[in-house]
Amino acid sequence: MLVDEAYKCIYTLPLNRQTPGRTELTEIATGCACRNLRRTARAVTQLYDDTLRPSGLRITQFTLLVAVALSEPVPITRLADALDLDRTTLARDLRPLTERGLLEITAGEDKRTRMVRLTVQGREAIARAYPLWRQAQARIVQGSEADRWQLVAGGLEEVAALALRS
pLDDT of residue 28: 85
In sign, the C-alpha dihedral spanning 41, 25, 30, 158 is negative
Average pLDDT of the residues in 118-139: 97
**Summary mean pLDDT of the chain:** 88
H-helix or E-strand containing 156? helix 148-164
> Is the pTM here over 0.85, yes or no?
no
> Contact at 8 Å (CB) between 116 and 73?
yes
The lowest-confidence range among 89-93, 115-119, 121-125, 145-149 is: 145-149
pLDDT of residue 31: 86
Closest CA to 130 of 45, 20, 19, 55: 55
Closest CA to 101 of 123, 79, 86: 123
Cα-based distances in Å from 105 to 11, 25, 64, 91, 159: 54, 48, 14, 10, 33
Q: How far apart are CA 66 and CA 69, in angstroms?
A: 5
Closest CA to 64 of 108, 114, 112, 102: 102
pLDDT at 125 over 70: yes
Q: What is the pLDDT of residues 87-99, one digit of tens each?
A: 899 999 999 999 9
Average pLDDT of the residues in 70-96: 93
145 φ/ψ angles, rounded to the nearest 5 degrees: -60, 160
H-helix or E-strand containing 89? helix 87-99
Q: What is the pLDDT of residues 3-29, one digit of tens each?
A: 555 566 565 556 667 888 888 888 888
Band of residue 43 on the pLDDT scale cut at 50, 70, 90: very high
Average pLDDT of the residues in 66-81: 94
In the chain, pLDDT over 70 holds for what percent of residues? 89
pLDDT of residue 8: 63
pLDDT at 105 over 80: yes
Give the Cα-Cα-Cα angle 28, 143, 138 (nearest 5 degrees). 115
> Contact at 8 Å (CB) between 47 and 136?
yes
Name all domains of the chain by residue range, CATH numbers in brackets.
Answer: 54-166 (1.10.10.10)
